[in-house]
Every structure is written in C-alpha cells, then in structure tokens.
Structure 1
Amino acid sequence: MALCGLATSCSEAVDRLVDRLPDGGSEEVQAAIDGLQQGSLETALLLALTGTMEIEGSEAELAASAAAAVRDILTPSDCVLGAEVVSDTVNYALENCNGPYGLRNVTGGVNLAFVMPAGPLGTSVALTSASLDLNGAPIAINVSGGMDDNDGVREYELITAGGGVSRDGEALTRSGSFTARIEEDCMVMQGGWLSTINTDLYPTVFTGFTRCDGPCPSSGTMVLGEAQPDVDGTGDPSNEIGIEGEALTMTFVGSRTIAWADSTGRTGATTMVCEF
C-alpha cells in the first residue's frame, strides 16, 4: 500500500506531474525541485559551519571552535554580525553571507548546537532556524545527526524536518533521513524524505546529489513517486523511503536544465531556478 497525500492519491499526483511536464513543467514539479534545492542548502550551511573544524572535545569546546572559525568560512567576513556561544550552542546572526556549496545571500539567525550523547557517527550536531533566507528563499531549518571522519572524509548521517516556500508560493515541508559527505570542494547527499507540497505528499529519493561552488546542483538524480512504506521494518516510513509504482526521475547536470523521464518511458527536459 502506498503512502498518499492529504487531498489526492500518490498515483494521481504523479500522473499530474508527468502529464504536465511536456508543457514546460508543472507547478508541483518546480516546487519539488525548489524543495530539494532548499533541503540541500540547509545541509550545505551545516556542512559549511562544521566541515573543517576539529570534532574532538566537550560540547562547549566544539561550540567555541565553530564560532571562532565562521568568519573564515562565510564571506565577506563582516557578514557575520554575531557568533555568540552559550554553553554548547552558537547563535549566529548573518547578513548577506556567501559560502561553499553554492550558498548565497544567507541572512537571518541560525543556531548550531553540539549535543551528547554522541550520534551514530560520533559528534552530534543540530542546526535550527525558524526563518532564514538562503539564496533568496525563506527556509525553516531543522537538521540534525552525527558527523565523523572516515579516511579523511567528513561524513554525516542526518535527519531533517525543515520547510519553506517555493518560488511560486507553495508551502513546502520535508521529513526524512539521508547521508552527506564532503568531497574536496563539493558536498554529496544521498537518501530520501517525504515532501509535502501544499496538501500533496511526494516521496522523494535522491542519489549522488552534488553541490559545488555554483548555485545549480552539479549532478545527481531525484525521483518522485509512490512510496514503499516502512522499508526498514521500524514502523516509521520516514526512516527509509522507497519508490514503487508511478515515478518521475529528474537528472541534474550542472546547469538550469534538468532531464526527466517518467515510468511510461517518456523523456524530456525542464528548467530550474538556482537562485530564488
């Protein structure tokens, strides 16, 4: 049995997406792309703030280290209006900051906490913000998990419960788990979440989704479709998202153009807005 949206079945929702794509892309497709963009930018900010710091020490020591490094990470350095350390948390105040992994015009307040006990990968982190502008889009950030180093590669196991608004005004939320890692000057994400676009629910799986310095994703795929619930047998379908039945696959190639293919064999292309 597939998970369904609040107002329509998953199959009907996906059918609507693929039926309208040849005409330039439906609002729902664009909103799903916006949602993945926003989720990846949320992750990009977490990785930017924590990706180069030492991850040994007490929670307070980690917070102090992150606060001290931020002006070397985000540019220009005076875009960081504040980085106040309160126990295990850094409270940042940012204005038009740029950073790695395509971060542009980051404005608002955001909190980075280091918590114990350790997460699945060692050091536990949580990044939250009730309202932050990332690349011109208002986003509610709520991403947390563990980070560790594996043969010199910083790796993360994360969960998100963030949200935002698409460029066309649709309400977006996401809930799920994924991994991320830093590869040289890029970040790579893999996993899935349940994307709510207005009242419709779209299981979303992404593979090799890569952000480097440019505003557009460098590579990767995103699949929207019906969910195979409770893949890992825990009773919580958000722990692991699988796709069955009707599906729409989009491939990112480093530009505004996105190639798509549906489960009936149709193919085409649409465009995305990389900066809102």
Structure 2
Amino acid sequence: MLHRLLVPLCVLSLAACGGESDEAEAADESAAVSSTEAALTSELSDEVGTTGTPEDLAAAAETRVKANMQPSSCLTTTTAGATTTYVFNNCTGRYGLVTMTGTVTATYSRPSSDVVRVLIESTGFKANDATLNLKATVDATQQGSVKRAEIASETSGTGPRGNTVSREGDYTVTWDEATECITLDGTTGSTRVTSTTVSGFRKCKAQCPSSGTIVHSGARGREVTLTYDGSANAAWSTSGGRSGTVALRCGP
C-alpha cells in the first residue's frame, strides 16, 4: 500500500522522488549550460558569410560583436592577427545572452572556402547565471538563410542552480538571426553525468525552451528523459516508470 501511495506523490512533487529529481535537475542544468555556450559560440562565429583572410574574419567579428552588445560601452576588444580578445562587462547580447562578464578569446581560420573555424577559449566567463571554463572548436557553414555550426567542446563550471558541470562532447547548433532562436542536437559526457543526449532542443530569446528532449544517463544506470514544450516547467520520466516536472530558470 505504501508503494502505491509513493508513486502518485512522486508524480506530483519532485521532492518525493529523491535521486530522480536530482538527475532531472542535473539534465536541465546541462542543457542550460549547453544553450548558453551555444549562444556564445554562435555570436562569435557568425562570419560564415564573410570573405577574406582569417585576419579579415577576426576584424569583421570584432566590429559585428561590438555592434550587437548593449550597452555599447560594455565591451572592449583587441585584435592581433586572426585572434580577437573580447572583454565583456555586464553585457546583453543576442540569442538570450544576458549579464555577460569575462574575457573570451576567439581565433579565426578558414579550413575550406565554405567553412569558418573559430577556436573559442575562456576561463570564469559568466552568463545567464552560469560560470563557464570553455574551450570549443566551432566549424560554421551556411546554406541559404540557415547557419549551422559543428562544435567540439570541453566545458566546466557551474550551472544556474549552482551545480558543478564538467563535460565534453560534440553537438550541432543551428541559429536564426531574425528570430534569435537556437536549436541544439548532440551528446556530451561528464564526471557528474555519464551522458546527456539533446535532440531538437530549441530556445529563443527571452523564452523558455519551446521543444526538445534530453535523455540523461546517470552514474547508477538510470535514465531520465526531459521534454520541453515552451512552458516554465519540463516534464520528466525515468526508466523506472516514475515521472514529474522540474521548474525551469528561463523566460524574460
């Protein structure tokens, strides 16, 4: 009888689910960090339509990124050759990036005529209530109006809830400048989380994720699946048959 009562309680409240609720929050924490990282890498690698040398790409990126930041005085930059150093001080940018503070370096190259490669590195970069130590290689391409980046990333730091995140993996980002929306697909692994697979995760500026699923495989062999629908809560279910919701830190 007690077991029959516990399952409905678990559906109604994350607190009743113990480890499953922790893993659901950890999965969403990983997604929040990934979307922040994707927004930053998209902003810094948007020169895919620019012609010229790597030095030209760095100069064009410096001008464009400065124009996209608010207030205009929040960002200082230095470009040497094909490397631009960005120093953010409480900046707000595109793709839902808010309260950015820290130093980021971006080194530009062109491995082929239709690909822009950017090596992005930062330590202690703060954005959207997360703190990131980031090393990412971004290969950006464009087909029509759609821009796409293949990203190989090593990231550590803390997420919006204050949980430690340490992971590496490959994922794909597409972004739309007109709507300031980003879509994520890929898999990362970490010491905290065995693996997190993101499919169709879509987030637009000042909104909660409108779609997507995350499958989080924990260290104890359990799987937690999160589903996003644009609301301020994500539904979760486990491989053990339990379910619930987790409150998201998103929106305006």
Regarding TM over 0.5, the answer is yes
Q: Deviations over 1:29-70 (max 9, x none)?
A: 323322221121011011123336633221110000000111
1:102–1:216: 8 Å Cα contact kept in structure 2? no
2:229 is matched with 253
Write out aligned runs for 1:1-276 (5 A).
21=14, 23=16, 26-51=21-46, 54-80=49-75, 82-118=76-112, 122-167=115-160, 169-183=162-176, 184-185=178-179, 186-197=181-192, 201-214=193-206, 216-225=208-217, 246-274=222-250
Structure 1: which amino acid aligns with 2:21? S
1:136 CA drift (Å): 2.2
130-139 or 31-40, which moves further after superposition?
31-40
Q: Deviations over 1:104-140 (max 9, x none)?
A: 1000111111135349x61111211011001122111
1:23 CA drift (Å): 2.1
Q: What CA distance in whole angstroms lies between the structure 2 residues aligned with 1:168 and 1:98?
A: 20
Q: What CA distance in whole angstroms lies between the structure 2 residues aligned with 1:178 and 1:59?
A: 24
1:248–1:260: 8 Å Cα contact kept in structure 2? yes
Q: What CA distance in whole angstroms lies between the structure 1 residues aligned with 2:250 and 2:194?
A: 21
Q: What CA distance in whole angstroms lies between the structure 1 residues aligned with 2:189 and 2:143?
A: 29
Relative to structure 1, the CA distance from residue 262 to residue 206 in structure 2 (aligned partners, 3 Å threshold; closer, same or farther) is same
Unaligned runs of 5+ in 1: 1-17, 228-244
1:53–1:65: 8 Å Cα contact kept in structure 2? no
1:253 CA drift (Å): 2.1
Q: What CA distance in whole angstroms lies between the structure 2 residues aligned with 1:34 and 1:219?
A: 16
Structure 2: which amino acid aligns with 1:205? T
1:226 CA drift (Å): 6.5
1:249–1:261: 8 Å Cα contact kept in structure 2? yes
Q: Percent identity?
A: 30
Q: Deviations over 1:54-111 (max 9, x none)?
A: 332211100000001112212121111x111011111001111112221110001111
Q: Deviations over 1:162-190 (max 9, x none)?
A: 11113554321111101111134211111
Unaligned runs of 5+ in 2: 1-10
Q: What CA distance in whole angstroms lies between the structure 1 residues aligned with 2:124 and 2:96?
A: 19
Relative to structure 1, the CA distance from residue 52 to residue 215 in structure 2 (aligned partners, 3 Å threshold; closer, same or farther) is farther
Cα RMSD (Å): 2.5
Q: What CA distance in whole angstroms lies between the structure 2 residues aligned with 1:268 and 1:170?
A: 20
4+ residue runs over 4 A deviation: none
Structure 2: which amino acid aligns with 1:207? S
Number of residue pairs the alignment of both structures matches: 235
1:104–1:135: 8 Å Cα contact kept in structure 2? yes
2:46–2:61: 8 Å Cα contact kept in structure 1? no
Q: What CA distance in whole angstroms lies between the structure 1 residues aligned with 2:122 and 2:240?
A: 40
